[in-house]
Structure 1
């Protein structure tokens, strides 16, 4: 492992004087987000008296590889070797299957005969129900966030997010869904008032449904999530990047969107740095290349976030012991 760096600024401010509920790791693909998220969750499990969950919202999961343990299948599993750390790789197909089951529920059977002609005009939607729509990965990841906030089973949740584009769509969902369901609720209330005017024409009672109550509850939950994600005492976003131009530009975009959605962040990890002084021509050339970009990263910092420099490991970071090794570089 290369660790001959002059200074490594620790991301200790992530936990100092805070009682965070959510810590999200994001950035460009291939920069080591999963390793950094997993290592930080291991540190937290060892040093904090909390029940901790780390979940992956990346469609191309690598959390299982990091822990060298199967965390797939869409079910929470205990991380081996730690009593208070659990892992989950979200399975969009499994979550979508649950959605399909809900869509095929027998509720329509209780609908009054007078309303059935209107529903028959809607046609057969079963074909649409069998196709997972675009953006489903982010939607079902967000649905899981709602689930965990509701049951409050875990004190601290780490998110190993997908590359930047997916993450931005995930972060925008509270605002998008909040607006969408708000409009749906208003529309349903208007329709209910409209049909209420005709109830005298029917002998049967007005068709009652708890759909409006459920949607109001969902709207309330989405609003709560949005508030929690914007609360700096509960949420922190950690950006992971490498000392290359493309990563710098993508990080700038990510910071702009974090500010737009009011997501708190105060840490950047610059990962995979080559050593400065080593008897290796290739390594020296790479470090010289990285140094120019590293200086730019520090220059762009307006003092609002800490920068943690992490060396390149000579081998893959997999398994609990290797994650602990990385965690000691990230945190004191």
Structure 2
């Protein structure tokens, strides 16, 4: 059975398994939590992660002393969202005195300030390390980066992350780094006698000690970062999705991986939800009765065309609601007992500019029933 088939089966839970006692359907508890230092916002591409992370940051700015919105998504949509250019240095967002934003590249770069000093020893060992632990170069950069972020004096940092696959890789870096550095430390112990003998023939004793000191520092740093990731009082993850199969599938995959890594996750934001409209139903019989009362043929044809178009719109609306309800039901059945599920409405236009983001952020505080079509 394929992963998709497996998930499809797991998503079709019986409704009687669902406990009616639900979590709040808003983000109030997340925003009022004063102990959190890192809030990661992630999900499939195109589901509204940046809008959600920006909105969370705006609300936190009302509650915390200082807030940093940090984009690790290579697309860096935060600049577009606020209509303001951000760089790899914290920049104060217009109209705020305590909300900052920065956009960083989490991939390894030869120009990174966090690169290890090049030595003949490292030139020889790094190729073997890369072969044994693919991605260790990026993990080293990420570790130094996270350590510098950890040292920043912000009350809370909101991470606007890249799409799911990239984010899962990023979250796996601390464990990868721990394994790789453990390998180097063990290697040092095995070669200790040989290296001590080499010291007597070389002037590089200080250089070798410097390398080991750096390795031990990085190892302690990776343990510290992993500890932070796994502390639910300090770190949490907000999943963002839309009520469609691929998005729900990726959300399940993301939550499973977060669970394996012991990373707290108890909030799901479902964007682009079509809510019920009281006045949408077309009374065809009533319209036909009105049509008979119209004497003017041209007006009759115009009215008839209008009724037809309205009926077509209603059909599209109902079809959309039925399709979304299928996945909203699955989300409710899977996560209703353990997560705050926040449904956000499909809006007429994209969310850009501080005013629109602020309006959207207020909706995150409103409790809304999950709109299942009956």
State the TM-score, normalizing by the size of structure 2: 0.73
Deviations 1:159-186 (A, max 9, x none): 1111110011011111111111111122
SS at match of 1:53: strand
**1:265 matches 2:265:** yes
Tell me how large the CA RMSD over aligned residues is: 2.9
Alignment map for 1:1-332 (pairs within 5 Å): 9-48=25-64, 50-72=65-87, 74-91=88-105, 95-98=109-112, 103=117, 140-149=141-150, 151-200=151-200, 202=201, 207-208=205-206, 209-277=209-277, 279=280, 280-281=313-314, 282-301=316-335, 303-331=337-365
Which sections of structure 1, spanning at least 5 residues, go unmatched? 1-7, 109-115
Structure whose alpha-carbon radius of gyration is higher: 2
Unaligned runs of 5+ in 2: 1-23, 281-312, 367-374
Against the structure 1 CA distance between its residues 158 and 199, is the aligned structure 2 distance closer, same or farther, given a 3 Å change threshold?
closer
Partner SS for 1:331: coil
CA distance, structure 2, for counterparts of residue 188 and residue 317 of structure 1: 54
SS of alignment partner, residue 44 of structure 2: coil
Q: Indicate the SS of the match to 2:157.
A: strand
Higher relative contact order (CA 8 A, sep 6+): 1
- Residues 43-96 of structure 1 deviation map (CA, whole Å, 9 limit, x = unaligned): 100222x21111111112211111111113x22211111111111111357954
Is the CA contact 1:76–1:86 (under 8 Å) kept in the aligned structure 2? yes
Structure 2 SS opposite 1:97: coil
Deviation track 1:174-207 (CA, whole Å, cap 9, x = no partner) reads 111111111112223443431213555x4x6662
Deviations 1:119-139 (A, max 9, x none): 99x5xx9xx9xxxx9687776
SS in 2 for 1:31: coil
Q: Give me the whole-angstrom Cα distance separating, in 2, the residues matched to 1:46 and 1:13.
A: 14
Q: TM-score, normalised by structure 1?
A: 0.81
